[in-house]
Structure formats: structure tokens, C-alpha cells
């Protein structure tokens, strides 16, 4: 056996040398030739970057959730995934939107073909989507029955267990698939707060510390069927999840007025929550002549119930014992259709989407100092879009336009509120231009995005936080409007992106004095004046090493925001930097070692000042029996250095918060694949942006 490990740039020279050698020694038989070459992992596209996963070291990362945290221009901690400068993305797996981040934890990275990080989503996506991540899995092969099992056992301050079973039966175009998932998760965060509120009655300071104990068991199941025949595909699935949680906590607060001690508050609480979700999703896709048609339908029901018991002891006032009940239900019907065909020198796509929402939010208490509320929201959104991509030699041009109309009705205690009912009209244009400059691939793009408030942000219900603090939404919030202008370029293994965006009507929490209650404050979300943000990001993933695969990402974000704080103008313009250095090392016996380091500098984001942090993770991966079995040993936050420390500012208050979690986490994941095959479900889902607002 002749084994050559060489760079892909020298592949043709080696092939020529091999040919000469064989010609000179034609009496010798060359039994087997294996050529190993490194290939470029990251590729610049018109709307972002594409990362090849299958056949690279990234396939051995573990889960899709862990994998996304390693993608260019993406940051991840736990289940929180963000695209730098764009916030939380809409995530798709084979065109179907991910509604629950646990889905990413259920998908093995070995099953993924590629990941697209879309930093400039076009008109086909909802106008409130600033970034998209598209995951494409490997094409399924074979028929019959297949089974995939994943077991994760881990330890933080306790032992936890995740168990997931996927099954699939495929025969003559029919594809029956299902999934069962169980998770047993806990947390015990510690929180330290120090706040100052500048009121007419004097300056109050609160210094508090507390700890919560939470349990989050998850039960989830899915069952679906697909049918494929020639160029026509259709299918449906039903998904059910039940998430119950219990949280107990206690805190101790010292209160001062004008730097003089006033009282001590002891608080203990206990809450239980039961979240149930039912989803029915169906799709059709097929070719009709020169046209390709894709239709998706989703029906979603959610019931979220929360019961809370509070006990508050004051050294200066009476003890308060009370209960609150918050029942929320959501219902969504949504359908979208997209037609596409080749046109001129590219492709034309146009379509429509309609979604209808009903939401009820009931909040009651047995205390007279807490206001009850009963809110109902009905909302219908219609959207039309058209976009095209055309190629003229080395030049590629993409243009799109999306129009949306929303009619939202707002009821309080069964009475329609005309003042709080809204109608929204907005247009979302997008365009991108791709062209080469020598050996450099370049891209310019522009897009406008609009984000409507989440339903909780629109609620007028006044919720009790503590004896001196209340919280409420704002039915009069206006949508956020952002204009993005970006330029990106790639050269070999280097990708660079620059962007500037202007934000109007950004949502920001503001503190005000509660009318008629001296010393008490109300936290309410309001719209902010327009401000600009500049970002610069770089990703370098060299491929010329044999057994070492490093990847470096760095970026900086600088906003130009001014707010009024205690009667003065406060500039929140300090740049915020991020840094990540991932390393995958191919060890003997075909094992993979991952050593990942990430850090963030101090700086301003929104109305926060964030302190720096850093973290280091280790992982060891090994597969057996032609990938039928695999083991993954993972140790996160080796040095227990991850901390969330922020200082927030608003009109009359500032608050310093330090949250400490059990971030050091040791886990072992065992996967077993029997006759591995994956579902052929090709639906994209409908009403995806509205699902995120729930």
C-alpha cells in the first residue's frame, strides 16, 4: 500500500510522478493508492459563507449544537447560538426550521454534509431575520430499518442523563420515522446584584445575593411519514414536547436610602412550570415542467402554565406571602409557498406566506398590591416576496424584495383596545453583488430588516418583582428597523467581513418611578432613538497542516449610542472584542483531540457595559466498527473561568449583575448506529418567525 499525505495544491504533480513510476516499473503491481489532501473548508458565497463538514475534522465534533459554536462568525455557549453583529439566527435543518434548540443536540455532527452561515438573508426569509444558519445533512442511502441511539452521562454538581432514540423504516419511496428524547437537567446559579436608583424621594441602593435550584426534565417525541416518487415529495410529522420545571430560590438584600441603611429583605420563592407543545407540519415539493414548487403548512399549539409562591420578610415592614399564576396559550396556523425556475442567466423565486396567531395571557394573584390582567392578542400576517440571482461571467448579482402586512388586535378583559391594536406595513429590500479581484473573492450587500416586539414585550400586565420593583411590557412599542451594509472577501483560507448598520426604535428596558408609590420603580421596555454600529470580523482556518487543524476567529463591534442617564448624556461607545482559537488534533489510533479557547473583551453592547471573560474546553473523540459506535469525552470550562458580569444603565438607574453558573461540565456521550439512515423530510416549515416570538 502506498500512502501519500500531501497538500491538494501538489496533487497533480504527485499524480504525474506516480504515472512515470508505474511506466518505468510496469512489471510491478500497485495494489492500492490512497492520496490524502487538505481541502478548503470555508467558502465565501453571495449571502454568507459555506463550511464543508463531511470528510473534514469538523465531522468529529459531537453534536450539531457543538458544531455551530465552531462556525465562522458564530459564537455559542450552551444552547445560545449567535451570529456576530446579527444576534440569534433562524436555523434550518434540510430546509425545516429548528423550533427547539434541543434538536441541534440530537443531531450528530457525523451526519452533517455542510453548514451555511447566511449573514445577508434575502427576501425569501421573514423581514425580522437578520441571520440564518442552514444545516444540510448527508443524503440517506439504503432501505429497511435503522436505529440511532445517543446516551450522554455528565457531571456538574450532580449527575445528569440525556437519552435519545431515532428510528427509521424506508421501503419503495415510503419513509416512516420517529424520535423519543429524554433529558434530566439542573442548574444552581448564583446571582450578585448592586443597584442604584435615583428617585425624587432620594437615592436608593440595593445590594443583594441569591441562589436558585432548578430542575428541567424534558420529554419529547416525534412521528412522521414521507413519500417520494420521481420528482414529487410529500410528507408530514407530529411533534410533542412536555417540559416541566421546578425552581426554588432565596435571596438576601440590604437596602439603603441616601447611603443610610434602611432595611434588610429576605426572599424565598418556589415556582413550577408546565410547558406543552403540539406541532403538526406538512409539506409538498415537486417539479411541474420548468417550475419547482414547494408548499409548507404548520399548526402549532402551546400551553405554558406557571405557579409561583413568594415569601418576603422585611426588617422594617410587614411580611408578605402571596401567590401568582400566569397561564399563557399560543395557537398558530401558517402556510407558505415558493415557486422557482431558471430564468435568463440565473434563477427566479417568488412566493407568499400567511400566518394567523391567537394568544391569551392571564396573570392573577391573591395580593391586592399586584394587578391582575387578562390579555388576548389576535394577529394575521401576509407576505409576498420575489428574488432573483443572475450570473454574468465572473459577476453575480442578487436582488430581492419582500412586503409584509400585519393586522394585530389587542383585548384586555375581553374588551377590544383600539389604541393598542396595530397595523404594520413594511418593505424589506435586499441586494448583493459578488465579483473577483485577482485571487480574492469579494461581496457587497445591503438589506433592510424589521423586528416586531415579542408578545410578552407588548403585554400591559404589571408583574411583581419585589417589594420595590415591578415590570411591565409596552403595547405601544414600535418595530425595530435596521439597515445593513456589508462587504466581505476571501483569499485562500482567510475570510474577512466588514459591516455597518443603522438601528431605529431599538427595544430597551427603562426604569421609571411607579405612579402613586413612593420609592417603588417600574421597569418598562421603550423605543430608543436611531444609532449606528460598526463591525469587523476575520476567520482564518489554514489547511496546510497534516494532523493539526487550527481555526482562528476575531472580531470587534463598536456602537455609537448615547442615552440620558441621571440627567446627563452617557456615551456607550466602548468597542467590544471577541476572540476564538479552536484546535483539532488527529492522534494515533484515529482519535481526535479538540482544544478550544474563546474570550471576550470588556465593552458596550446596547445599554450594557460587559466585563471580559475567557474559557477553555477539551474534547476527545473516537469511533469504532466503521462508525457504528462512537465515544465523546468532553470537559467544558476546564478552569471554571466563565462569568457573566454586566452593568446596565437607563434613565434613573444603574445595576451591576454577576451571574455564576456551574459551567465546568464533564460528560461522556455514547452513540450507536444500526443500519444508519435519516429521514427524507424536506419541509421548510411555515410561520417560522412567528414561532420565535412565542
Three-class HEC string of 180-236: EEEEEEEECCEEEEEEEEEECCEEEEEEEEEEEEEEEEEEEEEEEEEEEECCEEEEE
**Residue 140: all three cell numbers together:** 440517506
pLDDT band at 626 (very low <50, low <70, confident <90, very high): confident
* Three-state secondary-structure class, residue 556: strand
Average pLDDT in the chain? 90
Tell me what the mean pLDDT of segment 243-272 comes to.
96
Position 693 scores a pLDDT of 60
**Residue 120: all three cell numbers together:** 445577508
Position 538 scores a pLDDT of 98
Q: Which of 634, 502, 515, 490 is nearest to 561 (CA)?
A: 502
In the chain, % of residues over pLDDT 70: 91
Instruction: Answer yes or no: pTM beyond 0.85.
Output: yes
User: Among the listed ranges 70-79, 191-200, 231-240, 662-671, which one has the minimum average pLDDT value?
Assistant: 70-79
Position 313 scores a pLDDT of 97
Contact between residue 592 and residue 586 where contact means Cβ atoms under 8 Å apart: yes
Residue with cell 448527508: 138
**Contact partners, residue 483, CB within 8 Å, separation at least 6:** 446, 447, 448, 501, 502
Return the DSSP state at 635. E
Tell me what the mean pLDDT of segment 581-602 comes to.
96
Q: Which of 42, 35, 40 is nearest to 18 (CA)?
A: 35
What phi and psi, each to the nearest 5 degrees, are found at residue 588? -55, 160
* Three-state secondary-structure class, residue 20: helix
The pLDDT tens digits of the residues spanning 555-573 come to 999 999 999 999 999 999 9
Rounded distance between C-alpha atoms, residue 199 and residue 519, angstroms:
7
pLDDT band at 46 (very low <50, low <70, confident <90, very high): confident
CA 427-428-431 angle, to 5 degrees, is 135
The larger pLDDT score, comparing residue 108 to residue 347, is at 347
Tell me what the mean pLDDT of segment 111-132 comes to.
94
What pairing do the DSSP bridges indicate for beta strands 469-472 and 507-513? unpaired
Rounded distance between C-alpha atoms, residue 140 and residue 676, angstroms:
8
Position 404 scores a pLDDT of 96
pLDDT band at 633 (very low <50, low <70, confident <90, very high): very high
Query: 490: exposed, middle or buried (C-beta count within 10 Å: 0-12, 13-18, 19+)?
Result: buried
Asked if the model's pLDDT at residue 27 lies above 70, the reply is no
Question: What's the sign of the alpha-carbon dihedral 604, 608, 613, 619?
Answer: negative
Query: 569: exposed, middle or buried (C-beta count within 10 Å: 0-12, 13-18, 19+)?
Result: exposed
Contact between residue 533 and residue 559 where contact means Cβ atoms under 8 Å apart: yes
pLDDT band at 8 (very low <50, low <70, confident <90, very high): very low
Rounded distance between C-alpha atoms, residue 482 and residue 131, angstroms:
13
Return the DSSP state at 547. S
Asked if the model's pLDDT at residue 134 lies above 90, the reply is yes
Return the DSSP state at 61. S
Rounded distance between C-alpha atoms, residue 462 and residue 440, angstroms:
55
Tell me what the mean pLDDT of segment 628-636 comes to.
94
Q: How far apart are the first and last CA of the chain?
A: 59
Tell me what the mean pLDDT of segment 252-269 comes to.
97
Amino acid at each position: 500500500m502506498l500512502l501519500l499525505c500531501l497538500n491538494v495544491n501538489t496533487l497533480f504533480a504527485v499524480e504525474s510522478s506516480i504515472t512515470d513510476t508505474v511506466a518505468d516499473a510496469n512489471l510491478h503491481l500497485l495494489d492500492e493508492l490512497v492520496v490524502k489532501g487538505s481541502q478548503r473548508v470555508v467558502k465565501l458565497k453571495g449571502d454568507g459563507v459555506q463550511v464543508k463538514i463531511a470528510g473534514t475534522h469538523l465531522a468529529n465534533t459531537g453534536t450539531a449544537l457543538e458544531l455551530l459554536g465552531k462556525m465562522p462568525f458564530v459564537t455559542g455557549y450552551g444552547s445560545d447560538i449567535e451570529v456576530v453583529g446579527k444576534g440569534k439566527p433562524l436555523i434550518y435543518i434540510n430546509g425545516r426550521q429548528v423550533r427547539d434548540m434541543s434538536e441541534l443536540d440530537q443531531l450528530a455532527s457525523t451526519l452533517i454534509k455542510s453548514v451555511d452561515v447566511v449573514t445577508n438573508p434575502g427576501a425569501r426569509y421573514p423581514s425580522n431575520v437578520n441571520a440564518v444558519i442552514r444545516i444540510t445533512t448527508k443524503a440517506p442511502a439504503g432501505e429497511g430499518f435503522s436505529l440511532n441511539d445517543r446516551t450522554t452521562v455528565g457531571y456538574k454538581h450532580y449527575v445528569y442523563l440525556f437519552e435519545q432514540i431515532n428510528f427509521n423504516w424506508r421501503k419503495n419511496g415510503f419513509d416512516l420515522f420517529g424520535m423519543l428524547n429524554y433529558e434530566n437537567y439542573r442548574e444552581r446559579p448564583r446571582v450578585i446584584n448592586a443597584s442604584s436608583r435615583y428617585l425624587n424621594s432620594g437615592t436608593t441602593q440595593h445590594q443583594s445575593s441569591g441562589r436558585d435550584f432548578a430542575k428541567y426534565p424534558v420529554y419529547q417525541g416525534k412521528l412522521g411519514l414521507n413519500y417520494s416518487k420521481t420528482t414529487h415529495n410529500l410528507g408530514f410529522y407530529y411533534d410533542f414536547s412536555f417540559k416541566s420545571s421546578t425552581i426554588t430560590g432565596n435571596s438576601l438584600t440590604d437596602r439603603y436610602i441616601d447611603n443610610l441603611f434602611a432595611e434588610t429583605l429576605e426572599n424565598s420563592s418556589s415556582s413550577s412550570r408546565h410547558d406543552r407543545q403540539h406541532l403538526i407540519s406538512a409539506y409538498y415539493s415537486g417539479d411541474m415542467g420548468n417550475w419547482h414548487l414547494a408548499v409548507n403548512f404548520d399548526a402549532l399549539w402551546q400551553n405554558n402554565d406557571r405557579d409561583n409562591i413568594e415569601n418576603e420578610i422585611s426588617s422594617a415592614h410587614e411580611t408578605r406571602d402571596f401567590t401568582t399564576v400566569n397561564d399563557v396559550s399560543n395557537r398558530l396556523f401558517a402556510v407558505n409557498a415558493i415557486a422557482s425556475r431558471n430564468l435568463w442567466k440565473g434563477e427566479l423565486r417568488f412566493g407568499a406566506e400567511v400566518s394567523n396567531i391567537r394568544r391569551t395571557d392571564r396573570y392573577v394573584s391573591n395580593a391586592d398590591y399586584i394587578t391582575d390582567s387578562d390579555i388576548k392578542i389576535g394577529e394575521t400576517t401576509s407576505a409576498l416576496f420575489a428574488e432573483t440571482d443572475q450570473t454574468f461571467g465572473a459577476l453575480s448579482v442578487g436582488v430581492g424584495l419582500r412586503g409584509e402586512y400585519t393586522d394585530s388586535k389587542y383585548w384586555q378583559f375581553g374588551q377590544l383596545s383600539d389604541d393598542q391594536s396595530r397595523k404594520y406595513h413594511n418593505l424589506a429590500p435586499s441586494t448583493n453583488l459578488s465579483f473577483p479581484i485577482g485571487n480574492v473573492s469579494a461581496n457587497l450587500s445591503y438589506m433592510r430588516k424589521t423586528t416586531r416586539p415579542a408578545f410578552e414585550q407588548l403585554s400591559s400586565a404589571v408583574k411583581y418583582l419585589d417589594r420595590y420593583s415591578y415590570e411591565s411590557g409596552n403595547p405601544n412599542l414600535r418595530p425595530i428597523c435596521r439597515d445593513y451594509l456589508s462587504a466581505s472577501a476571501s483569499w485562500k483560507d482567510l475570510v474577512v467581513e466588514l459591516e455597518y448598520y443603522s438601528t431605529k426604535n431599538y427595544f430597551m428596558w427603562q426604569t421609571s418611578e411607579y405612579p402613586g408609590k413612593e420609592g417603588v420603580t417600574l421597569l418598562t421596555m421603550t423605543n430608543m432613538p436611531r444609532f449606528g454600529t460598526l463591525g469587523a470580523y476575520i476567520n482564518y482556518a489554514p489547511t496546510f497542516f497534516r494532523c493539526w487543524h487550527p481555526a482562528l476567529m476575531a472580531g470587534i463591534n463598536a456602537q455609537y449610542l448615547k442615552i440620558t442617564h441621571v440627567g446627563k448624556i452617557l456615551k456607550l461607545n466602548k468597542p467590544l472584542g471577541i476572540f476564538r482559537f479552536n484546535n483539532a488534533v488527529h492522534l494515533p489510533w484515529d482519535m481526535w483531540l479538540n482544544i478550544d479557547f474563546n474570550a471576550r473583551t470588556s465593552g458596550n453592547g446596547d445599554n450594557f457595559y460587559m466585563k471580559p471573560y475567557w474559557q477553555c474546553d477539551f474534547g476527545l473523540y473516537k469511533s469504532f466498527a466503521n462508525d457504528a459506535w462512537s465515544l465523546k469525552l468532553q470537559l467544558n470550562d476546564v478552569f471554571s473561568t466563565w462569568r457573566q458580569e454586566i452593568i446596565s444603565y437607563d434613565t434613573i438607574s444603574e445595576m451591576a449583575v454577576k451571574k455564576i453558573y456551574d459551567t465546568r461540565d464533564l460528560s461522556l456521550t455514547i452513540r450507536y448506529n444500526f443500519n444508519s439512515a435519516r429521514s427524507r423530510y424536506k419541509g421548510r416549515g411555515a410561520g417560522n418567525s412567528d414561532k420565535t416570538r412565542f
